[in-house]
Amino acid sequence: MGERTRERDNERPAGSPAAGGDAKHRQTESVSDALAAWANECAGWLALGRSREAEDLYEIGRRDHIIWARPGPDAPRGLPVMLLVERTVEEPLLRLHDAVRRWAVAGLPLYVSLPPEGDVEAWRDAARALGFRHESVQLLMTCRLRDRRRGPEPPRHDVAEAVTDRDWDDALRVIGEVYEDPPGLTAFYNPREAVRLFVARARREPAAAAALWPFGRVAGIYSVATRRRFRRLGFAYAVVEHMLRRAEAEGFTLASLRTTGLLMPLYMRHGFGVVGEIHRYRLG
C-alpha cells in the first residue's frame, strides 16, 4: 500500500501481529534494510486483503512475485488498481504484461510500484514499453532501533495505543479526516486484527494518529496524520517517537516508512536514514 504521506506525514501504505521480543522479530543479516522495509509493505497488502474490512473495497492477491489489488465491484468510484513488484525477477516485460492483462479494469488508473533494489531499470523499461508513465518517487527510510540516536524528548502529549473501541474509532477518524478518505477506506488500510493504531490527545480530544504495520519482522510506520488545528505543536513527533520506543521494547530491530524529500528531515530527528527510493508508474 503505500502511497500516503503527510501531517499527513508519511506514506501509508504495507503479516502478522506484533508480539514480544523473541527471535521472529530479529532482522536477518542476509536481507538489506531496504528490501526488509519493502517486504513489510508487500506483506501488509496481503494482510489487508485477508481482512473483513477489504470486503466490497479491494480484492488482493499475489502471483508471480507481484502483489495485486483490484477494486471490488461495489467499491467507491475512482479507486485505482495497484501492483507492487516484490522483487526484480527476470522477464519483467512478460510478467508486467501478464499482470496488466489479468487485473487492469477499464476506466480505472493502474499503478505499479517498484522495489528499492535489484534490476529496477529493466522493470522501468518494461513499464515504459507498456505505456506506463512515471508518476512519483518517494524516499524509503529505515531506522535500526537498537542503534538509533534519539532526538529531543517529545512534548508531554497524551499518546497511547488504541486499545479500546473509543480510541480505535478516534484514531480512524483523525486519519480519515486528514487523508479525506471515501467511506470505508480508512478502516481498510487499518484492519483491527492486523494493524496497530496510536493516538495523541489534546485535553482528551484526538489530535494526531498513526498506524504501525507489524509485518515481516519490521515495524512499518504509516498514515501519520495530525489534524490541522493541532499542527506544529509536536503531536506527530510525539506519536512517532512513542511508536518507535514501543517497537524497540517489544523486540523489533528495524522500523521503516516512506516519505517525501520535504518531510525527510522530520524523520531524521527520530534516527531514520534514507536507504532507497520507491518509484511508481501509472497506466491510464
* pTM for the model: 0.88
Which class for 39: exposed (0-12), middle (13-18), buried (19 or more C-beta within 10 A)? buried
pLDDT at 7 over 90: no
The alpha carbon torsion through 64, 118, 259, 284 (nearest 10 deg) reads -50
State the Cα angle at 271 between 266 and 276, rounded to 5°. Answer: 80
pLDDT at 28 over 50: no
**Chain CA centroid to CA 136, Å:** 15
* Mean pLDDT of all residues belonging to the chain: 91
Contacts of 151 (CB under 8 A, 6+ apart): 237, 241, 269, 270, 271
What's residue 62's pLDDT? 98
Which of 46, 38, 12, 60 has the alpha carbon at shortest distance from 180? Answer: 12
Least confident among 21-25, 27-31, 86-90, 123-127:
21-25
- Calculate mean pLDDT across residues 236-240: 96
pLDDT at 100 over 70: yes
Q: Which residue has the higher pLDDT, 149 or 103?
A: 103
pLDDT at 187 over 60: yes
Q: Please report which confidence band the pLDDT of residue 218 belongs to, taking 50, 70 and 90 as the band edges.
A: very high
Cell reading at 189:
488500510
State the Cα angle at 214 between 160 and 35, rounded to 5°. Answer: 135
pLDDT in tens, 151-176: 777 888 999 999 999 999 999 999 99
Domains along the chain with CATH numbers = 23-283 (3.40.630.30)
What's residue 12's pLDDT? 54
Cell reading at 233:
505543536
Rounded to whole angstroms, the Cα distance separating 236 from 224 reads: 7
Q: Please report which confidence band the pLDDT of residue 183 belongs to, taking 50, 70 and 90 as the band edges.
A: confident
